[in-house]
Amino acid sequence: MSFTDVKIKNRKASYEYEILDKVTAGIQLQGTEIKSIRHGNAGINEAFCQIKGDEIFVVNMHIAEYELGTYANHEPKRVRKLLMHKNEIAKWKKKVNEKGYTLIPTLLFISDNGKAKLNVALSQGKKIHDKRDSIKDRDSKRELDRLKKAF
């Protein structure tokens, strides 16, 4: 497995939230964090993003400690800064201040040049009936695919 094949998805995001817009941002990492990500030892299921001033941070993203690390290993759930242009952050800050919008990480991956990137989505929480509709749509699509495959 190549290290650029690492794609850690937030599967709950599309079920829990309606995704409105997406952007890709870099992550400011420390020490052995990139090694753990390259081995696929990270999780973004519980993560969310916060904007403080002119900076954006990802909170509650878990990157496991590197197995071969020393005493200088990183904290698994520390707050990490996202690397974006200030005008992009200002645009997203305006949208987040509107009622009901939040920033959710959807995909953590390694780019072609070896850097960790995070896809962040502007999203709005779904209601219970919206979740039921998405389940019905998914099931009907699955059934159509089965019928097409049979013929």
Per-residue model confidence (pLDDT) at position 73? 75
Question: Which helix H or strand E contains 62, and what residues bound it?
Answer: strand 62-63
| CA separation for the pair 140, 149 (Å, rounded) | 14
Per-residue model confidence (pLDDT) at position 7? 87
Per-residue model confidence (pLDDT) at position 6? 83
Q: Where are the domains of the chain?
A: 3-126
Which pLDDT tens digits describe the chain residue by residue (151 residues)?
Answer: 555 678 888 888 878 888 888 999 999 988 888 888 888 888 898 899 999 989 999 999 988 887 776 676 777 788 999 999 999 999 889 888 877 788 999 999 999 888 999 999 998 887 777 778 888 888 888 999 988 888 7
- Say if residue 65 is exposed, middle or buried (CB neighbours under 10 Å; 0-12, 13-18, 19+): middle
- Nearest CA to 121 among 150, 143, 145, 92? 92
How far, CA to CA in Å, does 29 sit from each of 11, 25, 63, 80, 106? 23, 13, 10, 7, 18
Residue 60 neighbours by CB under 8 Å, 6+ apart: 46, 47, 48, 77
Per-residue model confidence (pLDDT) at position 119? 93
How many Cβ atoms are within 10 Å of 147's Cβ, its own excluded?
9
Q: What is the CATH number of domain 3-126?
A: 2.40.280.10
Per-residue model confidence (pLDDT) at position 4? 60
Q: Which two tokens stand for residue 124?
A: 């709005």
